[in-house]
């Protein structure tokens, strides 16, 4: 096929759809062009910035006919920061875009005709994140800077007022950065791999308002550490712990393995529903707890657990969903790779007086196999919440073989979710598939799918 567009040339196109990342899709002589920041129904002037053999990428130059769902952008750094992708679209419409994106994957992949439910949105989709990770660096003028990485680069854009981050935690991070600059503490230079301060990470319990600060350093000691701690806790009494995280590797991974509490005990607590959870530096905790609670509730209600049921919670993190399920179940087994998270899960069970949940550290692929094939513990209900890569083949085969009556699949990646559902749909009826907007104004979509064994009474 002859490619009908050339790099750096301008074209006028009609946007016919929105893709998975929220980008607009247009065609020129049947050749597909992806254009960020454009909306279905718009007529726009674009410049082609990249041409590949099967498609091209364009840059928006001028909107000739705007969509009625276009929103005035409310963030100064939106165009450059990679945090949000959908701030130019009215919130209600972003929920439809997410629902449609999941529906189109389902239509392409699954044999069962599934109608994806409406996306469950937030009443107030602002400042919802409880965790922030700010890189520190030196800008082109040689000045220290803290902020967010510009989209697909390692250039740091200074933070203004992020509309999805928690305001208090942002203030704490800015305060620590100011202290570092004032006291001339050295800042890590990624190119030279020299300097001390790499990242400031904050976690906040939205219900308890307890804050954890993690100072990621390329070294062992922070100069004026005591003074820094005193200043922080004097200005922000709800900072409950400050942790030094040692990361001397030349890597994109933000946190190193070693965490040293320099103030407090290295944990904060938060409340989800009736339960209190201990949160540590390395363990996973949903970044939007308001939506997480609603997501868990949908999953737990759909699981229809009874006091006769043995329930497995695969990829259980610090045991959040396990504890939500335990009061209804005979027993719950949580499996999780990160040991620190498993310790936290056990402690969370104790704090919340749950005595029918146990947690096992290890890879789901191996531990699940072990539990059902060696220890002969067969679950009636399985809950899974894997990372983006989805389930491994051995675990899917094991689930199919023991065929629990119900399976609830929580996923942060609809592509792998639908892939796994297609492996399960022979034996299972997909009763519900509901997106939950865990990450408003970003292109990320969280889903909960409810599966029931076919012909199960």
Ligand X SMILES: C[S@@+](CC[C@H](N)C(=O)[O-])C[C@H]1O[C@@H](n2cnc3c(N)ncnc32)[C@H](O)[C@@H]1O
Give residues in contact with ligand X (CB under 6 A): 284-286, 315-317, 320-321, 335-338, 341, 363-364, 385-387, 412
**Of residues 17 and 392, the one with the C-beta less far from ligand X:** 392
Cβ-count burial 14-34 (b if 16+ within 10 Å, e if not): ebebbbbebbbbbebeebbbb
Closest CB to ligand X: residue number? 317
**Tokens describing residue 289:** 């707890």
CB 214, CB 281: distance < 8 Å: yes
412 in active site: yes
**Of residues 51 and 282, the one with the C-beta less far from ligand X:** 282
User: In the chain, what is the straight-line distance between the N-terminal and C-terminal CA atoms, in Å?
Assistant: 54
- For residues 313, 314, 315, 319, the Cα torsion angle rounded to the nearest 10 degrees is 20
Catalytic position from the list 81, 84, 412, 447: 412
**Of residues 198 and 444, the one with the C-beta less far from ligand X:** 444
- Min dist. Cβ of residue 334 to ligand X (A): 8
**Tokens describing residue 294:** 């609603």
Cα–Cα distance, 137 to 250 (Å, whole number): 14
Q: Which residue, 360, 357, 427, 430, is CA-closest to 396?
A: 427
- Min dist. Cβ of residue 69 to ligand X (A): 30
- Min dist. Cβ of residue 282 to ligand X (A): 9
**Of residues 242 and 314, the one with the C-beta less far from ligand X:** 314
Cα–Cα distance, 296 to 292 (Å, whole number): 6
**Of residues 256 and 317, the one with the C-beta less far from ligand X:** 317
- Min dist. Cβ of residue 81 to ligand X (A): 24
CB 326, CB 313: distance < 8 Å: no
Instruction: List, in sequence order, every beta strand (DSSP E) within 52-194.
Output: 55-65, 131-138, 144-149, 156-158
Cα–Cα distance, 273 to 292 (Å, whole number): 10
Going by DSSP bridges, is the β-strand pair 43-51/31-35 parallel, antiparallel, or unpaired? unpaired
Q: 32 has which bridge partners? A: 27, 55
87 phi and psi angles, rounded to 5 deg: -70, -15
CB 202, CB 168: distance < 8 Å: no
Q: Which residue, 220, 265, 273, 277, is CA-closest to 239?
A: 265
Cα–Cα distance, 176 to 167 (Å, whole number): 15
414-424 and 393-402 helices, crossing angle to 10°: 40
**DSSP code, position 282:** S
118 phi and psi angles, rounded to 5 deg: -65, 145
- Min dist. Cβ of residue 147 to ligand X (A): 26
Is the four-CA dihedral 427, 432, 438, 444 of positive or negative sign?
A: positive
**Tokens describing residue 433:** 């598939």
414-424 and 91-109 helices, crossing angle to 10°: 40
- Min dist. Cβ of residue 395 to ligand X (A): 9
Cα–Cα distance, 245 to 6 (Å, whole number): 48
Residues that are catalytic: 412
């Amino acid at each position: 096929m002859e490619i009908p567009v050339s790099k750096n040339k301008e074209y006028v196109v009609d946007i016919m759809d929105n893709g998975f990342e929220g980008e607009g899709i247009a065609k020129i002589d049947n050749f597909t062009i992806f254009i960020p920041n454009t909306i279905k129904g718009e007529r726009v002037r674009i410049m082609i910035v990249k041409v590949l053999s099967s498609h091209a990428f364009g840059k928006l130059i001028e909107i000739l006919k705007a969509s009625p769902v276009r929103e005035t952008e409310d963030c100064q750094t939106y165009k450059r920061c990679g945090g949000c992708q959908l701030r130019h679209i009215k919130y209600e419409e972003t929920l439809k875009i997410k629902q449609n994106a999941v529906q189109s994957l389902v239509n392409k992949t699954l044999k069962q005709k599934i109608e994806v439910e409406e996306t469950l949105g937030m009443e107030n989709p602002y400042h919802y994140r409880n965790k922030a990770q700010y890189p520190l660096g030196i800008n082109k003028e040689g000045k220290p800077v803290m902020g967010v990485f510009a989209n697909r680069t390692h250039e740091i854009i200074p933070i203004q007022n992020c509309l999805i981050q928690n305001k208090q935690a942002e203030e704490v991070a800015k305060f620590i950065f100011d202290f570092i600059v004032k006291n001339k503490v050295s800042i890590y230079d990624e190119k030279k791999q020299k300097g001390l301060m790499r990242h400031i990470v904050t976690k906040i319990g939205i219900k308890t308002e307890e804050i954890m600060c993690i100072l990621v350093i390329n070294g062992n000691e922070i100069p004026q550490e005591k003074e820094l701690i005193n200043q922080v806790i004097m200005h922000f009494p709800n900072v409950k712990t400050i942790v030094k995280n040692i990361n001397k590797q030349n890597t994109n991974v933000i946190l190193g393995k070693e965490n040293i509490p320099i103030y407090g005990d290295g944990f904060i607590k938060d409340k989800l529903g009736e339960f209190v959870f201990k949160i540590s530096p390395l363990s996973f905790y949903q970044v939007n707890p308001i939506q997480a609670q609603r997501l868990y509730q949908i999953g737990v209600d759909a699981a229809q657990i009874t006091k006769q049921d043995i329930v497995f919670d695969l990829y259980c993190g610090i045991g959040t969903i396990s504890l939500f399920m335990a009061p209804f179940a005979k027993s719950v087994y949580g499996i999780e790779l990160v040991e620190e998270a498993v310790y936290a899960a056990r402690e969370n069970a104790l704090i919340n007086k749950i005595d029918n949940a146990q947690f096992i550290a290890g890879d789901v692929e191996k531990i699940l196999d072990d539990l059902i094939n060696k220890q002969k513990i067969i679950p009636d209900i399985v809950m899974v919440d894997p990372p983006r890569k989805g389930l491994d083949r051995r675990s899917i085969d094991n689930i199919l073989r023991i065929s629990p009556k119900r399976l609830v699949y929580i996923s942060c990646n609809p592509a792998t979710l639908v892939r796994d559902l297609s492996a399960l749909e022979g034996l299972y009826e997909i009763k519900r598939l509901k997106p939950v907007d865990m990450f408003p104004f970003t292109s990320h979509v969280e889903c909960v799918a409810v599966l029931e064994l076919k012909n199960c009474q």
